[in-house]
Structure 1
Amino acid sequence: MKNPFISNTPSSSPIKPKTKSGTRVRKPDNASSSSHSSVHSSPVRRPRSNNGGFTDRYLPKRTDMDLKSVISLGSSSLPNFLPSNSDDQIEYRREQEAHETFDAILKNEIFGEKLSNNPIEPEDSIERIKSTPSAPYYEPTTPPSSHHAIDRDSLLSPTQSPANPRRLTYDHHQKPSSSTTRGASLLTYSEKRASRPSTASLIQNQYSSSTSPVRPDSKRLLLLPTKKTRQIAKIPYRVLDAPSLADDFYYDLVDWSSTDILAVALGKSIFLTDNKNNEVAQLSSTDDEYTSLSWVGAGSHLAVGQLDGLVKIFDIEKKKCIRTIPGHIDRVACLSWNNHVLSSGSRDRRILHRDVRTPEPCFEELHTHTQEVCGLKWNTEENKLASGGNDNMVFVYDGTSRDPCMKLSEHTAAVKAIAWSPHRRGILATGGGTADKRLKIWNVRTATKMHDVDTSSQICNMVWSKNTNEIVTSHGFSKYNLTLWDGNTLDPIAVLKGHSFRVLHMTLSADGTTIVSGAGDETLRYWKLFEKTKPQVQPASALLSAFNQLR
């Protein structure tokens, strides 16, 4: 059998036959054309065709498409440089600002006042260019024809009007010599200085020269101070070890009081950290596990839920338990205060309302959820309560009423992350678990959904900033990070990475500037994300103060 690899191997170049005297056989001039196409024939150099009329180079012609490409620069629309699924959009916003500046200067240098319908103030053509809807030369839907011809000279040399001509030439400046041109000034020799000049000074010197061909309005735009962008630290400024911090989705073990004390439940013990002096003290210990904790609004008492269903209230000044409240028959997964009312949700599917001023263990019992209640948040200003459960349901209650006033059933996983907006009335944010991964914002007053975004990860906890309209979510499977969202559009602003396990616990500082996150990697991380709010100006008169109180 013949080897296919050998038969497919190309043979070496054929050797032309020779005569007996050693000279090569010359083929006749009238050889057939088939002989030239034969394999054994030598390659023949074909003469260069001159069908197009070009011999040594290609000279392009200006066509209608070229004009359309040039005139399209006059359009003020820019592509979207902010992808919605970006991990960090601050850098993209900076890039977008740079693109907008470049686009404005390019159009100003090429077209000048041609892009403006009101050529009265030529020095402000940059602002008019930014607001120009489209190029004024021709309508894009109508192709240029013979009676709509475009003047190439007027396109490349923009002028304002015959009464006030203006061209990108040296008419208004002294024409530079060969030794004072921009290129020559950059390459000339200069003595070494002790300090290196800054970039701003170099730009200032470059455009302050009278020989600069850049238009004055473009100079002003380039020399404007850059906009100060927000700086967000991507790494925590403090990391604390938290041994025995439970890695359980249904636990809520970190909370920050209004008196700047952080409470953390580690296994069977509770520790308090005073952030003013960084002192750490143990509050209590138990034979059972702690599953949730929540500070009262004044910061004087701490409510703690346990695995056995008991709820304990601790006096912080006395550092002892002043009351133990029964009622649940299984672990207490979430707690929330509304002045003197303490609400608790449990794995026994019930929500109990307790008045801590009375001796009764509870005065109202809710049975709306069919599985464990894992999320519970009061809106104290509007006296509304939101609850989320392992049954993928979210209910909103008016006060302590037994029947909910709103029912949300769009999530497809457990809803533990719940937050009320401190900036707008009746706005609620909810986040789903592993099978859902969606962050939703609702208007409770109108019973409508405002925003819905896929976070691509399990949402374990959520905090709405008091200082800015932004939301911080902590994630589990499978990103293990924190994400900062714009509360108006739900665009991601920044992603904070550092934890190596699910970020289950999260709380906000008293001044609203710092987020503390706790994860299954047994660490607590402090993130400085927000600035302090400026103090509000007090009313100038008592009458105005009384009027504001009436409103």
Structure 2
Amino acid sequence: MSDEMRNPFINNTPSSSPIKPKSAGSHKVSKRPVSSSSLSASSVHSSPLRRPYATANLGYTDRFIPNRTDMDLNAVISIGRPATLPRLAPANSDNQLEFKRERQAHETFDAVLKNEIFGEKLGRDSNDNEDSIDRIKYTSSSTYEEPSTPPRSRDLPDRGSFTSPSRSAPITPRKLTFDDYQKPSSNSVRGATLLTYRERMATRPSTASIIQNQYFNSTSPVRPDSKKLLLSPGKKLREIAKVPYRVLDAPSLADDFYYDLIDWSSTDVLGVALGKSVFLTDNNTNEVVQLCDTDNEYTSLSWVGAGSHLAIGQGNGLVEIYDVVKRKCIRTLSGHTDRVACLSWNNHILSSGSRDRSILHRDVRAPEPYFEQVRTHSQEICGLKWNVEENKLASGGNDNKIYVYDGTLRTPILKLDEHTAAVKALAWSPHRRGILASGGGTADKKLKIWNINTSAKLHDVDTSSQVCNMIWSKNSDEIVTSHGYSKYNLTLWDCATMDPIAILKGHSFRVLHLTLSSDGTTVVSGAGDETLRYWKLFDKPKPKMHPTSVLINAFNQLR
């Protein structure tokens, strides 16, 4: 067998063109000429002794040696452009405050890095009276753009130019040379650069001595303005405790979306309906007393503004008013034919919403059980909130509708029907006139902010969970929402941006009940896990200094 038959690679290799038989008298075919470049490359790979002197055209070397005498335009643009900070954390993240601290650290690092590399060049033609720290932070919003007219050849750098945002003409950094890598004579003027040469020390310094040298000695390796920025106190971020400071057992606390079973009075007394009994807890003395009990089930309760009387709704449609000082029922109001799911006070007017799809307005000074009946909703009324200062009433129902009424009129002045689930969570803003917040149920999960005066929707946020209840803080422009399926947590929102500030976890069932303390600092949440949790979320408001005026005092007395 021939060599060609024994070699499989020869047999399996296809021929590019059929070999024509050589005829008699045919000329010999000459070979294709070989270029010098291919010859040199093949010779280089074939023998290490025949390497040419110049190998730059091969495209590879043993190691990369940076050119320290040039300033790369790509590096200037990548470092000088605004910092690429992490994006806002999602709403379901529970480390919002830690994320803000990380952003602050990124901004400080970015400002120091730019100042150390470009500080002298950025401030070359800037105002001498300008603060260096302000110039560092202003660099964070720098933009890089091509000059409109080509510069002269003697001003043109090797790789590019840096354009200052405050001036149209580009600022060309001077070309670095080896003479620039000398130790500065004084650190008070510009500080040491990152490329400063230091002599080797006999012993390795400790970490404490390095920090001492870096921040407090005159031989700090950073510029004085960077040192000032690093040593200046950063923006103090808000501290919010992620765990409740108090947890109370609440046996028989109903796990029903339509119930509203806790409320905090202006006299700092917390009322809780547990099954067929109502208990009062004094926050000052921690004393717990039983106010009343019934054969029916309690479904809602609400304190009057003065904190002296408590209205309690029952499953049979009756509403009872208790004098908490005497601990006795002084009034029983009828009118509803089904359970009373929500109650709200407007001075001496008590409004109640029921599963019989009606709203009753009651004047507790009159002998009649009610003086006005409103039938607007097509299903159960599960949310009811008075705006006492503007005399506006908002109602939410199981029909996914929100109605706003002017006082006790039957005809609503506004209808909102963008929610796709039951609307129980309602809250009026105590800081801006005509601003209403609403939250949808399981099929909606939206938190919406409305301007009632203009009928405009200001915000629409997906909370990713059923919104069961909400409170608008009296001390700050923030909202606390409690959630059910399927997060079981509380969320604190910044109303200006609608970004979540903190996620509070701890409950293991739907957080259906929510109330705010009289001083506006503490939120109490109740859930189907039969616990009440106290959360310290807000600071006490600073006292406002009002100018003393006889006319204003007389007007307040008239009111």
Same fold (TM over 0.5): yes
Share of identical aligned residues, percent? 67
Per the alignment, residue 227 of structure 1 pairs with 235
The C-alpha deviation readout for 1:175-197, integer Å capped at 9, x for no partner, is 99xxx96985993369xxxxxx7
Q: Secondary structure at the match of 1:297?
A: coil
**Which one of the candidate residues 79, 97, 102 is aligned to 2:85?**
79
Give the deviation of 1:207 after TM superposition.
2.0
CA distance in 2, matches of 1:518, 1:396: 28
Per the alignment, residue 91 of structure 1 pairs with 98
- Residue correspondences, number: 498
Give the deviation of 1:72 after TM superposition.
3.1
Question: Does the Cα contact within 8 Å between 2:482 and 2:514 map onto a contact in 1?
Answer: yes
Per the alignment, residue 359 of structure 1 pairs with 367
1:173 partnered with 2:181: no
Amino acid at match of 1:494: A
Distance 1:145 1:136, change over 3 A: farther
Per the alignment, residue 24 of structure 1 pairs with none
Per the alignment, residue 164 of structure 1 pairs with none
Q: Secondary structure at the match of 1:460?
A: strand
Give the deviation of 1:144 after TM superposition.
10
Distance 1:338 1:117, change over 3 A: farther
Alignment of 1:44-59 (within 5 A): 52=58, 54-59=60-65
Give the deviation of 1:32 after TM superposition.
9.7
Per the alignment, residue 25 of structure 2 pairs with none
Amino acid at match of 1:506: L
Per the alignment, residue 21 of structure 1 pairs with none
Q: Secondary structure at the match of 2:58?
A: coil
The C-alpha deviation readout for 1:430-449, integer Å capped at 9, x for no partner, is 00000000000001111100
Per the alignment, residue 522 of structure 1 pairs with 530
Per the alignment, residue 384 of structure 2 pairs with 376
Give the deviation of 1:541 after TM superposition.
5.5
Question: Does the Cα contact within 8 Å between 1:81 and 1:95 map onto a contact in 2?
Answer: no
Per the alignment, residue 296 of structure 2 pairs with 288
Q: Secondary structure at the match of 1:102?
A: helix
Alignment of 1:187-336 (within 5 A): 187-188=204-205, 203=211, 205-336=213-344
Q: Secondary structure at the match of 2:228?
A: helix
Distance 1:144 1:456, change over 3 A: farther
CA distance in 2, matches of 1:276, 1:500: 28
Amino acid at match of 1:187: R
Q: Following TM superposition, where does structure 1 have runs of at least 4 consecutive aligned residues deviating by more than 6 angstroms?
A: 35-38, 45-49, 140-148, 152-155, 158-161, 543-550
Runs of 5+ unmatched residues, structure 2: 14-44, 163-170, 175-179
Alignment of 1:400-549 (within 5 A): 400-539=408-547, 542=550
RMSD: 3.8
Give the deviation of 1:149 after TM superposition.
3.3
Question: Does the Cα contact within 8 Å between 1:331 and 1:347 map onto a contact in 2?
Answer: yes
Distance 1:291 1:71, change over 3 A: same
Per the alignment, residue 70 of structure 1 pairs with 76
The C-alpha deviation readout for 1:30-69, integer Å capped at 9, x for no partner, is x99957999xxxxxx976896516453345689x995234
Amino acid at match of 1:228: K
Amino acid at match of 1:334: C
Give the deviation of 1:133 after TM superposition.
7.2
Amino acid at match of 1:306: Q
Distance 1:182 1:450, change over 3 A: farther
1:119 partnered with 2:126: yes
Q: Secondary structure at the match of 1:187?
A: coil
The C-alpha deviation readout for 1:205-249, integer Å capped at 9, x for no partner, is 522222223111001001112322111100111100000000000
**Which one of the candidate residues 100, 106, 110 is aligned to 1:103?**
110
Amino acid at match of 1:188: P
Per the alignment, residue 18 of structure 1 pairs with none
Q: TM-score, normalised by structure 2?
A: 0.80
Amino acid at match of 1:489: T
Question: Does the Cα contact within 8 Å between 2:427 and 2:471 map onto a contact in 1?
Answer: yes
Give the deviation of 1:546 after TM superposition.
7.7
Per the alignment, residue 16 of structure 1 pairs with none
Amino acid at match of 2:81: S
Amino acid at match of 1:79: L
The C-alpha deviation readout for 1:325-363, integer Å capped at 9, x for no partner, is 000000000000000000000000000000000011111
CA distance in 1, matches of 2:202, 2:544: 53
Question: Does the Cα contact within 8 Å between 2:213 and 2:219 map onto a contact in 1?
Answer: no
Give the deviation of 1:81 after TM superposition.
3.3
Question: Does the Cα contact within 8 Å between 1:169 and 1:213 map onto a contact in 2?
Answer: no
Runs of 5+ unmatched residues, structure 1: 1-26, 39-44, 162-166, 191-196
The C-alpha deviation readout for 1:474-511, integer Å capped at 9, x for no partner, is 00000100000001111011100000000000100001
Q: TM-score, normalised by structure 1?
A: 0.81
Q: Secondary structure at the match of 1:173?
A: coil
Question: Does the Cα contact within 8 Å between 2:468 and 2:484 map onto a contact in 1?
Answer: yes
Q: Secondary structure at the match of 1:362?
A: coil
Give the deviation of 1:543 after TM superposition.
6.9
Distance 1:452 1:159, change over 3 A: same
CA distance in 1, matches of 2:522, 2:336: 34
Per the alignment, residue 193 of structure 1 pairs with none
Question: Does the Cα contact within 8 Å between 2:85 and 2:106 map onto a contact in 1?
Answer: no
Give the deviation of 1:310 after TM superposition.
0.2
CA distance in 2, matches of 1:519, 1:266: 12
Distance 1:368 1:96, change over 3 A: same
Q: Secondary structure at the match of 1:453?
A: strand
- The range that moved more, 74-83 or 517-526, is 74-83
Per the alignment, residue 12 of structure 1 pairs with none
CA distance in 1, matches of 2:278, 2:552: 47
CA distance in 2, matches of 1:402, 1:340: 19
CA distance in 1, matches of 2:510, 2:150: 59
CA distance in 2, matches of 1:483, 1:512: 16
CA distance in 2, matches of 1:534, 1:242: 34
CA distance in 2, matches of 1:453, 1:502: 20
Question: Does the Cα contact within 8 Å between 2:81 and 2:144 map onto a contact in 1?
Answer: no
Q: Secondary structure at the match of 1:517?
A: strand
The C-alpha deviation readout for 1:228-285, integer Å capped at 9, x for no partner, is 2111100111100000000000000000000000000000000000000000000000
Distance 1:246 1:32, change over 3 A: closer
CA distance in 2, matches of 1:402, 1:355: 16
CA distance in 1, matches of 2:136, 2:155: 24
Per the alignment, residue 139 of structure 1 pairs with 146
Give the deviation of 1:304 after TM superposition.
0.3
CA distance in 1, matches of 2:515, 2:199: 57
Question: Does the Cα contact within 8 Å between 2:110 and 2:140 map onto a contact in 1?
Answer: no
Per the alignment, residue 136 of structure 2 pairs with 129
CA distance in 1, matches of 2:501, 2:554: 40
Distance 1:321 1:132, change over 3 A: same
Distance 1:332 1:146, change over 3 A: farther
Give the deviation of 1:120 after TM superposition.
2.8
Question: Does the Cα contact within 8 Å between 2:155 and 2:172 map onto a contact in 1?
Answer: no
